Chain A
Amino acid sequence: MSAYRISGLGRVAEAAAVNFTFDGKRYQGRAGDSLASALLANGVLLMGRSFKYHRPRGLLGAGAEEPNALISVDRGGGRFTPNLRATAIELYEGLDARSQNRWPSLQNDLGAINDRLGRFFPAGFYNKTFMWPRSFWEKLYEPAIRRMAGLGDAPTDADPDVYDACYAHCDVLIVGAGPAGIDAALAASASKKKVILIDEQDELGGGALADPTLWPWLAESLKDLAKLTNVTLLPRTTAFGYYHDNFIGAVERLTEHLPDPGHGAREKLWRIRAGEVVLAQGAIERPLVFAGNDVPGVMLASAARTYLNRFGVAVGRNVALMATHDSGWRDAFALARAGVRIAAIVDLRETVDAVLLAEAAELGVRVELGSAVIGVAGRHAVEGIEIARADGSARQQLDCDAVLMAGGWTPSVHLWSHSLGKLEWSEDWGAYLPGKANENVRCLGACGGKWSFGSGVYVGQLPTPKNPATIKAFVDFQNDVTAKDIALAIREGMKSVEHIKRYTTNGMATDQGKTSNLNALQLASAALDRPVQAIGLTTFRPPYTPQTFGALAGHAKDALFQPTRKTPIDPWAEAQGAVFEPVAQWRRARYFPKAGEDMHAAVARECLAVRQSVGIFDASTLGKIEVVGPDAAEFLNRMYTNPWKGLEPGRCRYGLLLREDGFITDDGVSARLAPDRFHLTTTTGGAARVLNMMEDYLQTEWPDLNVWLTSTTEQWAVIAVQGPKAREVIAPLVSGIDLSGDAFPHMAVREGTICGVPTRLFRVSFTGELGFEINVPSAYGRHVWEAVWQAGQAHGIIPYGTETMHVLRAEKGFIIVGQDTDGTVTPYDAGLDWAVGKKKADFVGKRSLARPDIVANGRKQLVGLLTDDPAEVLVEGAQIVEDPNQPIPMKMIGHVTSSYWSASLGRSIAMALVAGGFDRMGDTLHVPMPGRTITAKVVKPMFYDAEGSRLNV
Chain B
Amino acid sequence: MILIHCPYCDDTRPELEFAYAGEAHIARPLDPSALSDADWERYLFIRANPKGRHNERWRHVHGCGRFFNAVRDTVTDKFELTYKAGEPRK
A residues apposed to B, CB below 8 Å: 243-245, 247, 271, 273, 420, 438, 660-661, 692, 695-697, 699-701, 703, 841-842, 846-848, 850-852
Contact = CB atoms under 8 A, between A and B. Distances in A.
A703 B85 CA distance: 10
27 contacts: A243-B1, A244-B77, A245-B1, A273-B3, A420-B76, A692-B19, A692-B61, A695-B59, A695-B67, A696-B67, A699-B66, A699-B85, A700-B57, A700-B67, A841-B31, A841-B33, A842-B31, A842-B33, A846-B33, A847-B32, A847-B33, A848-B40, A848-B44, A850-B33, A851-B37, A851-B41, A852-B37
Interface in B8-44: 14, 19, 21, 27-28, 31-33, 35, 37, 40-41, 44
B1 to A, nearest CB: 5
Contact of A696 (B1, B3, B21, B40): B21
Given A692-B59, A696-B67, 13 more contacts: A273-B14, A438-B76, A660-B44, A692-B19, A692-B61, A696-B21, A841-B31, A841-B33, A842-B32, A842-B33, A847-B32, A847-B40, A850-B33
A554 B32 CA distance: 49
Nearest to B61: A692
A660 B66 CA distance: 21
Contact of B40 (A247, A700, A851): A851
A213 B63 CA distance: 55
A436 to B, nearest CB: 12
Contacts of A703: 85-86
Interface string B36-58: 01001100100000000000010
A697 B21 CA distance: 12
Q: Which 8 pairs show the lowest CB-CB distances between chains A and B?
A: A847-B32, A245-B3, A244-B2, A247-B1, A701-B28, A699-B67, A700-B85, A700-B67
A625 to B, nearest CB: 13
Interface size bracket, B side: 20 to 34
A699 B21 CA distance: 13
A420 B75 CA distance: 11
Contacts of B27: 701
B57 A847 contact: no
Contacts of B32: 842, 846-847
Contacts of A701: 27-28
Interface centre among A247, A700, A850 (most CB of B within 10 A): A700
Contact of A847 (B1, B35, B59, B65): B35
Nearest to A844: B28
A700 B65 CA distance: 12
A696 B59 CA distance: 9
Nearest to A698: B67
B1 A244 contact: yes
Nearest to A659: B44
A839 to B, nearest CB: 12
A438 B65 CA distance: 31
Contacts of B44: 660-661, 848
Contacts of A850: 33
Nearest to B45: A661
Nearest to A853: B37
Nearest to A847: B32
A851 B65 CA distance: 33
A852 B40 CA distance: 11
Contacts of A660: 28, 44
A695 B65 contact: yes
Nearest to B24: A700
A235 to B, nearest CB: 25
Contacts of B77: 244
Contacts of B67: 695-696, 699-700
Nearest to A662: B44
A943 B77 CA distance: 55
Contacts of A847: 32-33, 35, 40
Interface string B78-90: 0000000110000
B72 to A, nearest CB: 11
A382 B67 CA distance: 68
